[in-house]
Amino acid sequence: MTLHFAPEAASFPVATRLDAYVAERSFDRPTLVMDLDRVAIQYHALKAGLGRADIHFAVKANPHRQVIARLVDLGSHFDAASKAEIALCLTEGAAPSEISFGNTIKRASDIAWAHDQGITLFAADAAEELEKIAVNAPGASVYIRLIVETSLADWPLSRKFGCDRDTALALLDYAKALGLNPVGFSFHVGSQTRQSAMWASSLDALALIWQAARDAGHELSLLNIGGGFPAFYGEAIEAPTAYASEVMKLVEARFPGAQKIMAEPGRGMVAEAGVIVAEVMLVSRKSARDLHRWVYLDIGRFSGLAETEGEAIRYQFHTARDGDPMGPCILAGPSCDSADVLYEKRPMQMPLTLQAGDRVLIRNTGAYTSTYSTLGFNGFPPLDVVVI
């Protein structure tokens, strides 16, 4: 079997731990196997490049208890999207001062609860959100999330989050008027931004807004550069340390006054530490003239592979038959739902000899899979997770 790891990972002996583990076992349902040592390697690699920036792991990427515990031990801080994610980080030993409540859409009672737990840093992109924070976490520090161009990312985060320049400047004033402490800005370049150079135009635009805020009398101290750090899905990416240090060079050149820099890697921290073990359920052709086979797996859009939406994230599939002749196929999940098709516009190359019962390994799937899995759609169990 040919293995395709990111260039930097290829030299890590622990990258083979996952293969050794899964080779010795059988699994009766799709299972994500996570290697905690690989998470640690990725943490150190990103930290080496990010330098003085604090890493706040984006918990949503993989909120497995043991992943969080390991990251606490390594010294990571955390970006939490909800009360449950904050509770998880606290339970696993993170200090409240190391957790930011980074979702711009928060329930008022959750803000109050977080405040009671000692959380002091909150995100906002709207006046009403600031009002909720001012009432439920009086005096808290807030950063304002800005909209940036994300079209270069493979998984853009769209206009759902953030606000424009003028709104952001007005929100800084409003936060102050509400008795809050507006400390800076955040943004997200879009998930799976494959090259560090793709950050430059967003950072250029942000630097102008940062300067405008300072000119208006705001003593900004925090720049939260969000996530976007890529994982290897088959297309070339820079190695994590090189990528992160290039991003930091771009940041330092434009924000010399930012005392505190936060980065929130999610995918780049955990994706390459996981492999999903799945199985072929059926190989078929719809007619004798059909150009492509259909290959149905026991995992699909509703059981962990949600990021195949729009065929945006193209995972790497490996089987024991990879040495056989390959041919294109439409890859689909097992549920009785016609949306449960993974790749059709750009068919996947799979061995022509593939048949029901064959094991399929889906590489670098440690991010945004386990929690995207439904609890029992069509009666299929959720993606199992095993940590080694």
Ligand X SMILES: Cc1ncc(COP(=O)(O)O)c(C=O)c1O
Of these, 102, 184, 334, 351, which contacts ligand X (CB under 6 A)? 102
In 235-305, alpha helices (H): 240-254, 267-270
What's the DSSP call for residue 269?
H
What distance in Å separates the CA atoms of residue 121 and residue 319, rounded to the nearest whole number?
A: 46
Of these, 8, 54, 79, 272, which contacts ligand X (CB under 6 A)? 79
298 part of the interface to ligand X, by CB under 6 A: no
49 part of the interface to ligand X, by CB under 6 A: no
191 part of the interface to ligand X, by CB under 6 A: yes
Nearer to ligand X, 81 or 350 (CB): 81
Cα torsion for 85, 111, 173, 99, to the nearest 10°? -30
Of these, 182, 227, 334, 366, which contacts ligand X (CB under 6 A)? 227
| Shortest distance, position 271 Cβ to ligand X, whole Å | 8
* 144 to 183: interface string for ligand X, x by CB under 6 A: -------------x--------------------------
Cα torsion for 158, 162, 164, 169, to the nearest 10°? -170
From 108-116, 227-235, 236-244, 274-282, give the range in contact with ligand X by CB under 6 A. Answer: 227-235
The sign of the CA dihedral 309, 310, 315, 319 is positive
| Shortest distance, position 267 Cβ to ligand X, whole Å | 4
Name the 3-class secondary structure at 237: coil
137 part of the interface to ligand X, by CB under 6 A: no
Of these, 229, 302, 315, 317, which contacts ligand X (CB under 6 A)? 229
What distance in Å separates the CA atoms of residue 94 and residue 91, rounded to the nearest whole number?
A: 7
Nearer to ligand X, 58 or 383 (CB): 58
| Shortest distance, position 234 Cβ to ligand X, whole Å | 17
For 310-349, give the secondary structure using H, E and C: HHCCCCEEECCCCCCCEEEEEEECCCCCCCCEEEEEEEEE
For ligand X, the binding residues in 80-99 under the rule CB under 6 A are none
363 part of the interface to ligand X, by CB under 6 A: no
From 162-170, 222-230, 251-259, 351-359, give the range in contact with ligand X by CB under 6 A. Answer: 222-230
C-alpha angle 45-47-50 in degrees, rounded to nearest 5: 115
366 part of the interface to ligand X, by CB under 6 A: no
Count of chain residues binding ligand X (CB under 6 A): 16
240 part of the interface to ligand X, by CB under 6 A: no
Yes or no: say if 60 and 88 are a contact pair by the CB < 8 Å rule. Answer: no
Joined tokens for residue 213:
């805020």
267 part of the interface to ligand X, by CB under 6 A: yes
Yes or no: say if 78 and 59 are a contact pair by the CB < 8 Å rule. Answer: yes
User: CB count, 10 Å around CB of 321?
Assistant: 18
Of these, 35, 125, 154, 264, which contacts ligand X (CB under 6 A)? 264
Q: Which residues bind ligand X (CB under 6 A)?
A: 58, 61, 79, 102, 157, 188, 191, 226-229, 264-268
